[in-house]
A = this chain, B = another copy of it.
Amino acid sequence: MASLTYGKYLRLKELLACQAPESAKAGRPAHDELLFIVTHQAYELWFKQCLHELDAVIAIVGADFVHERDVGRALHYLERVIRIQGVLLDQIDILETMTPLDFLDFRNLLTPSSGFQSAQFRSLENRLGLERTQRLRYNEAEYEAALDASDRRRVGAAEREPSLFDVVEAWLARMPFVRSPEFDFWREYRANVTRMLDEDRETIERKAQLPAAARRAQLDELERTRETFEAVFDPVKYERLRAARQRRLSYPAFLAALMIMLYRDEPILQGPFRLLTALVEIDENLSLWRYRHALMVHRMIGTKIGTGGSSGQDYLRRTVEAHRVFLDFFNLSTYLIPRSMLPRLPAEVREQLGFRWNA
A residues lining the B interface (CB < 8 Å)? 3-12, 14-20, 22, 28, 31, 34-35, 37-38, 40-42, 44-46, 48-49, 52, 56, 67-69, 72-73, 76, 79-80, 83-84, 86-87, 90-91, 93-94, 97, 99-101, 104-105, 108, 110-120, 148, 151, 176-177, 218, 221, 225, 228, 261-262, 264-268, 270-271, 277, 280, 284, 287-288, 291-292, 295, 298-305, 309, 317, 320-321, 330-340, 351-359
Contacts and interface: CB of A to CB of B under 8 A. Distances in A.
A97 B83 contact: yes
A337 B101 CA distance: 8
Contacts of A295: 284, 287-288, 330
A330 B312 CA distance: 14
What DSSP secondary structure best describes chain A's contact surface?
A: helix
A295 B284 CA distance: 7
A338 B105 contact: yes
Give the oligomeric copy count.
Answer: 4
B18 A101 contact: no
Given A15-B45, A352-B356, 4 more contacts: A6-B114, A42-B42, A104-B338, A280-B299
Contact of A4 (B90, B101, B111): B111
Contact of A337 (B3, B20, B46, B104): B104
A354 B68 contact: yes
Contacts of A331: 298, 302-303
B79 A84 contact: no
B355 A112 contact: no
19 contacts: A4-B112, A6-B118, A7-B148, A14-B18, A16-B48, A38-B48, A42-B42, A45-B45, A69-B265, A72-B265, A72-B267, A101-B264, A101-B339, A105-B339, A105-B340, A228-B303, A267-B355, A298-B333, A356-B356
